[in-house]
């Protein structure tokens, strides 16, 4: 059933994400066209440098570049808005009457939203990278990549296997820890906003969004205080023991993973509790 919920969520959100992605890529193409007319890849220009048309073209290039940069900022901001809006509208508004009658556990609703949001987050980053390639990559860059990337990749693999076994072990674990931290912290970050919406829903019948914003501010403040206290205790603890830089790095990564996982469990519990026992759709 979780897969079906995710398919439904993808269909609902694709209507917002795909046009946004196409607009960003189109802006990158338009900017690249203006850049080429200004001699980006070669020194050749259609119009002389001091020509009026060339001056207008330069102004247009600056304007379209500004629009492109603002579009990138808007893409990330709108992605966040979509994640929050879909959760609130689909589960805590009128649509909730239908969704909560399905033979699905509240936890599955939450996981469907989380997984879908995570996938769209990755897609947004990939679109951002692709737009940069469209905008900046030229023939020289492609030639450099073709000539050097296989060589660099070969040297990285060769260098890895030529190092000591203990170094390989630490490097692999650092990569695994980094990936795990990235995934856990992203899931924790998304479910944090779900928990704020859930608290706003529980605390008020008429001003749910206002209370959700209040919950966000209060929880954020408390999290900062807790993080400061933990850093102080961690500093005292680390001063009392002697660790190598490698061991210290592992300890920091593992501690960060545990902290992010604890936050995720807490926020997931708040959200799940509201959907299970305190959901009021009146």
Tens digits of pLDDT across the chain (282 residues): 788 888 888 888 999 999 999 999 999 999 888 877 776 666 555 655 666 666 777 778 888 889 999 999 999 999 989 988 888 888 887 676 677 777 788 889 899 999 999 999 999 999 999 998 888 876 666 666 666 667 777 677 766 666 777 777 778 888 899 999 999 999 999 999 999 998 888 887 778 888 889 999 999 999 889 888 888 887 777 777 766 777 778 888 898 899 999 999 999 999 998 888 766 655
Burial of residue 196, with CB atoms counted within 10 A of its CB: 0-12 exposed, 13-18 middle, 19 or more buried: buried
Instruction: State residue 161's pLDDT score.
Output: 66
CA nearest to 68, candidates 122, 40, 30, 35: 30
- Percent helix, strand and coil across the chain, each to the nearest 5: 85, 0, 15
Contact predicate 202/274, CB 8 Å: yes
pTM more than 0.85:
no
Instruction: State residue 45's pLDDT score.
Output: 58
Instruction: State residue 88's pLDDT score.
Output: 86
Contact predicate 38/60, CB 8 Å: no
**Nearest-angstrom CA–CA distance, 105 and 122:** 26
Instruction: State residue 139's pLDDT score.
Output: 60
**Nearest-angstrom CA–CA distance, 53 and 135:** 22
Contact predicate 118/190, CB 8 Å: yes
Burial of residue 78, with CB atoms counted within 10 A of its CB: 0-12 exposed, 13-18 middle, 19 or more buried: middle
**Nearest-angstrom CA–CA distance, 192 and 171:** 31
* Cα separations in angstroms, 105 against 109, 143, 240, 277: 7, 53, 47, 12
Instruction: State residue 114's pLDDT score.
Output: 93
For 179, how many CA atoms within 13 A lie in the half-sphere containing its CB? 6
Instruction: State residue 3's pLDDT score.
Output: 83
End-to-end CA distance of the chain: 27
For every residue of 231-254, DSSP letters joined together read HHHHHHHHHTS---HHHHHHHHHH
**Nearest-angstrom CA–CA distance, 192 and 277:** 19
* Cα separations in angstroms, 196 against 9, 174, 232, 244, 280: 21, 33, 27, 40, 16
Instruction: State residue 5's pLDDT score.
Output: 86
């Amino acid at each position: 059933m979780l897969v079906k919920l995710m398919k439904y969520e993808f269909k609902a959100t694709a209507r917002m994400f795909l046009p946004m992605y196409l607009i960003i890529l189109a802006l990158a193409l338009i900017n690249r066209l203006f850049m080429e007319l200004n001699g980006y890849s070669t020194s050749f220009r259609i119009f002389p440098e001091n020509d009026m048309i060339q001056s207008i073209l330069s102004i247009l290039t600056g304007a379209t570049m500004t629009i492109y940069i603002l579009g990138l900022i808007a893409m990330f901001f709108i992605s966040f808005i979509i994640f929050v809006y879909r959760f609130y509208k689909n589960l805590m508004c009128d649509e909730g009457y239908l969704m909560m009658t399905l033979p699905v556990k509240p936890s599955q609703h939450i996981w469907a939203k989380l997984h879908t949001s995570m996938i769209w987050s990755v897609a947004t980053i990939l679109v951002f990278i692709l737009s940069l390639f469209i905008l900046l990559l030229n023939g020289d860059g492609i030639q450099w990549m073709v000539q050097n990337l296989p060589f660099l990749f070969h040297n990285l693999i060769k260098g890895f296997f030529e190092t000591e076994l203990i170094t390989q072990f630490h490097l692999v674990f650092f990569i695994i820890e980094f990936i795990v931290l990235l995934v856990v912290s992203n899931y924790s970050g998304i479910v944090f906003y779900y928990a704020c919406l859930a608290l706003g829903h529980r605390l008020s019948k008429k001003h749910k969004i206002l209370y959700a914003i209040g919950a966000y501010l209060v929880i954020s403040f408390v999290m900062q205080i807790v993080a400061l206290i933990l850093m102080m205790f961690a500093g005292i603890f680390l001063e009392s023991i002697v660790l190598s830089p490698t061991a210290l790095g592992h300890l920091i990564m593992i501690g960060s993973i545990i902290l992010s996982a604890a936050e995720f469990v807490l926020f997931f519990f708040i959200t799940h509790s509201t959907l299970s026992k305190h959901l009021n759709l009146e």
